[in-house]
């Protein structure tokens, strides 16, 4: 069947918001699409996916898929894609999608367009735009194979909204694992639990740079709490040990697209901008009036952050 198979990303039996960007891509192609949920608990997660206008939601629910390894997941995704005759397989360019998509492309004999920002359809041809050279250039990619595998940038494809209705749900059998699966053992997943929203799905993100130094948490934690925000960091702040690496925002870190993004003490290196430029509103605080971050910010404050942040927090508390 010509159309797009969207591979959902699950976590603890729930659909991650990142999946909704891949659904938006599928809708933009104008072709029919289905959504595939793979993993232990996928049948329960499917209920979250039935209202987005898909022709159907397919589940591969198996206890052996409780922990993600590409050697166990990719065969089942590839089998569903082949059996359904889907000519495009789409994922969001998260760590999950970036790991899964290349393996799928090999299994399907498909061309792969990673981390795309736009899809353009001209007659029977389709082209994908993606950034190159660390975001310094944009180029168009055309895939000549019958099947395409695509990962979409979350900052460029907004989360799809439920359109009502109820797509039918059907189950598919798990495929045999890759031979390499016997040599791969999942040990454990270490995650930090927080009452704050997940960085990749938060509506508000407060990010700090190396300029905060040892006061990184002391300054940003109260502000994030007041705003109900997630906390991010520049690579320089993480490399200096002021912030943990899992909250790094940028080309080599997390990609975020919140409604509101605070860049505090962040100069605006192109690698950082690549990870947050999809934010709807950007507020920058930096004492350097020539900092590159001001070129993309909607609101900029040239000030000492050690004075400005406490003042901002006091105003927020006064009006809360």
Query: For position 104, what pLDDT does the model report?
Result: 97
Residue 195 has pLDDT above 80, yes or no: no
Contact predicate 147/110, CB 8 Å: yes
Contact predicate 85/204, CB 8 Å: no
Contact predicate 21/152, CB 8 Å: yes
Query: For position 285, what pLDDT does the model report?
Result: 97
For 69-83, 114-128, 192-206, 215-229, which range has the lowest pLDDT when averaged over its residues? Answer: 192-206
Return the beta strands (E) in 143-259 as ranges: 148-152, 169-171, 204-208, 230-233
* Superfamily (CATH H level) for 204-319: TPP-binding domain (3.40.50.1220)
Q: Using CA atoms, how far apart are residues 275 and 246, in angstroms rounded to an integer?
A: 13
pTM of the model as a whole: 0.81
Query: For position 193, what pLDDT does the model report?
Result: 67
Take residue 303 and report the two structure tokens written for it.
């000030």
Tell me whether the CATH fold assigned to 4-183 matches the one assigned to 204-319.
yes
For the chain, count helices (H), then strands (E): 8, 16
For 100-104, what is the mean pLDDT? 97
Residue 1 has pLDDT above 60, yes or no: no
Cβ density class 100-117: b for 16+ within 10 Å, e for less: bbebbbebbebbbbbbbb
Query: For position 142, what pLDDT does the model report?
Result: 95
Return the beta strands (E) in the chain as ranges: 4-7, 10-11, 14-15, 33-38, 57-60, 88-92, 111-122, 125-132, 137-142, 148-152, 169-171, 204-208, 230-233, 260-264, 281-286, 299-302
pLDDT digits (tens, 9 = 90+) for 111-142: 999 999 999 998 878 999 998 876 678 899 99
Query: For position 200, what pLDDT does the model report?
Result: 82
By percentage, how much of the chain surpasses pLDDT 70? 98
Query: For position 253, what pLDDT does the model report?
Result: 87
Residue 174 has pLDDT above 60, yes or no: yes
For 176-186, what is the mean pLDDT? 91
Spell out the domain ranges in the chain. 4-183, 204-319
Q: Using CA atoms, how far apart are residues 264 and 287, in angstroms rounded to an integer?
A: 10
Q: Using CA atoms, how far apart are residues 10 and 244, in angstroms rounded to an integer?
A: 24
CATH classification code of 4-183: 3.40.50.620
pLDDT digits (tens, 9 = 90+) for 261-310: 999 999 999 889 988 988 999 999 999 999 999 999 999 999 999 999 99
Query: For position 138, what pLDDT does the model report?
Result: 85
Number of neighbours of residue 13 by Cβ within 10 angstroms: 16
pLDDT digits (tens, 9 = 90+) for 18-32: 999 999 999 999 999
**Which residues, at least 6 apart from 20, have a Cβ–Cβ distance to it below 8 Å?**
52, 159, 160
Read off the DSSP letter of residue 13: T
Mean pLDDT of the chain: 93
Query: For position 240, what pLDDT does the model report?
Result: 95
Dihedral pair phi/psi, residue 313, rounded to 5°: -65, -40
Take residue 138 and report the two structure tokens written for it.
């944009």
The residue count of the chain comes to 320
Query: For position 192, what pLDDT does the model report?
Result: 65
Q: Using CA atoms, how far apart are residues 198 and 9, in angstroms rounded to an integer?
A: 14
Of 252 and 172, the structure prediction assigns the larger pLDDT to: 172
By percentage, how much of the chain surpasses pLDDT 90? 77
């Amino acid at each position: 069947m010509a159309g797009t198979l969207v591979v959902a990303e699950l976590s603890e039996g729930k659909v991650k918001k990142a999946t909704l960007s891949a659904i938006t891509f599928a809708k933009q192609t104008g072709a029919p699409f289905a959504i595939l949920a793979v993993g232990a608990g996928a049948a329960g997660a499917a209920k979250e996916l039935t209202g987005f206008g898909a022709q159907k939601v397919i589940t591969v629910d198996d206890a052996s898929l409780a922990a993600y390894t590409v050697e166990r997941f990719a065969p089942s995704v590839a089998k569903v894609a082949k059996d359904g005759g889907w000519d495009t397989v789409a994922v969001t360019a998260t760590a999950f999608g970036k790991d899964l998509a290349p393996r799928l492309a090999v299994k399907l004999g498909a061309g792969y367009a990673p981390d795309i920002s736009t899809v353009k359809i001209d007659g029977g041809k389709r082209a994908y735009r993606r950034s190159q050279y660390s975001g310094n250039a944009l180029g168009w990619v055309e895939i000549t194979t019958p099947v395409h595998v695509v990962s979409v940038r979350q900052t460029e494809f907004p989360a799809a909204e439920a359109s009502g209705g109820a797509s039918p749900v059907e189950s598919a059998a798990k495929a045999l694992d890759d031979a390499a699966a016997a040599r791969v053992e999942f040990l454990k997943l270490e995650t930090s639990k927080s009452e704050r929203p997940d960085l990749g799905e938060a509506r508000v993100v407060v990010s700090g740079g190396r300029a905060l130094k040892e006061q990184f948490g002391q300054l940003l934690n109260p502000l994030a709490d007041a705003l109900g925000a997630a906390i991010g960091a520049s690579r320089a702040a993480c490399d200096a040990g002021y912030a943990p690496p899992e909250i790094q925002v940028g080309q080599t870190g997390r990609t975020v697209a919140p409604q509101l993004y605070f860049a505090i003490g962040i100069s605006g290196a192109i690698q950082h901008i690549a990870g947050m430029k999809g934010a709807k509103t950007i507020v920058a605080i930096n004492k350097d009036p020539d900092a590159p971050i001001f070129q993309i910010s909607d609101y900029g404050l040239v000030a000492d952050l050690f004075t400005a942040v406490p003042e901002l927090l006091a105003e927020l508390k006064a009006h809360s």
